[in-house]
Amino acid sequence: MPRIAATVIALWTSLTLALGFYSSRDAVVELTPDNFDRVVLDTKQLVAVEFYAPWCGHCQRLAPDWKKAAKNLQGLVTLGAVNCDEDTNRGLCAQYEIKGFPTIKVFQPEKKRDKRTGQLTKRAQDYPGARDARSIIDYMLAWQPSQVRFIKADSSKAKSKKSMTMDDFFATENATLPKAVLFTDRSTTSALYKYLSVEYSDRMLLGEVKKSEKALIKQFGINKFPTLFISSPTDGHVAYEGKIERASLIELMDRSALPAKEKSSTPQKSEKPKDSAKVNKITSDAELDDFCLKTGRICVMAITNDEEEESTKNILNEINKTGSSLYRVAWIPENKASAMSRHLDLSADLPVLFLVHPSKQLYRPYVGAWDAKAISSWLEKVVRGTISPWPYQGNLSLESADRIRDEL
């Protein structure tokens, strides 16, 4: 009987590990290539991501503290997790060069240009603190971004970019930009007010007056703390009488702030490209330049004939689902690829797949089983650096069938 019980426990433990540590009941957001950009890269707020493997003992010990920290920070800072044992997540783990588990990466809101891809994106920094809930919470709150303006009665005390007089505060974008002023007796700005200042940064300006600013306290007749005033073109200048809590304040600011800007369906040059779901067909040098050569990004391309076209596109679509954040994927018809094949000395047996890094003039042809899993594994090794690409000289180009016939 004890042996049966031990076997059941072992099987249950294995099943639990196989399923990962986190569920919808936890405040931790399970991240995949489908939601990583939206949750981590496209938010204005601070995000921390744990990259883990279910079999890892250190990861198992961290999980309760990660859940506790996520619950305490919920609505202020997002804590996410990527299971690197999942095949679909391995591209993400390779992209952020995860070498051991658990690895915690912190994503600051500011976007900077990635030297490897040329795109504006958030930079991931290693979390340097202790792996307990209290330390994680304290670190995240210390690095939480803020757009709160500190309002002073005396202009000589406004010595930083975020300090200003009350007149200057209300003069910011004149009457068109709604304002919120919080009178507080706290020595530091609350995490909730910081969160709101960032979340509504392009829709409302948030200011804070400390209790020590006695002239302003007297001028506005403040007799209790905290007191919040809202000033907007629609409501005028009013004292907020509701609860100072997240849900109530979000409802207030949604009502008083400028309308949220609709996200453009066409990507701007400074944004991360939104073509990750599409595998492109390339038939001209102009398309090759626009899709690959002039982007500075890594490109994965296949050359195929009519007979293998459908199966090749299916494989490319599969690898694109897991690696679209790392590289762009396209295919070239056989009759358009003769110059490319000669330049890179590619195999005449079709279909053939190869990787190109145009900004560094590097490439590598794929040799192996013709299926999505094998190709994805190979691409992951190339990106990680365990398989080295080869240099090429000159400019890559296509050659149309019509041109060949004209020359003949």
Find the CATH number of the domain harbouring 303: 3.40.30.10
Same-domain pairing of 115 and 37: yes
Domain assignment of residue 36, yes or no = yes
| Phi, then psi, of 234 in degrees rounded to 5 | -85, -40
Q: Which residue has the tokens 């209290």?
A: 134
Domain assignment of residue 364, yes or no = yes
Contacts of 333 (CB under 8 A, 6+ apart): 281, 283, 303, 304, 305, 306, 309
Same-domain pairing of 309 and 252: no
Residues of the chain with pLDDT under 70: 1-20, 115-118, 174-175, 234-235, 262-277, 296, 322-326, 383-386, 399-408
The b-or-e profile of 333-363 (16+ CB within 10 A means b, else e) is bbebbbbbbebbebeeebbbbbbbbbbeebb
Amino acid 294: pLDDT: 84
Same-domain pairing of 299 and 378: yes
Q: By residue range, what is the domain housing residue 228?
A: 149-256
Report how far Cα 218 is from the mean position of its chain's Cα atoms: 45
82-133 per-position pLDDT tens digit: 999 888 898 999 999 999 999 999 999 988 877 666 678 898 999 999 999 9
Question: Measuring CA to CA, how many Å separate 72 from each of 64, 135, 288?
Answer: 12, 12, 49
The total domain count for the chain is 3
Amino acid 321: pLDDT: 80
Amino acid 406: pLDDT: 40
Amino acid 295: pLDDT: 76
Is 22 within 8 Å of 52 (Cβ atoms)? no
What is the amino acid identity at position 85? D
Is 150 within 8 Å of 213 (Cβ atoms)? no
Strand partners, 237: 231
Q: Among 376, 288, 273, which Cα is nearest to 331's?
A: 288
Amino acid 383: pLDDT: 66
Amino acid 2: pLDDT: 52
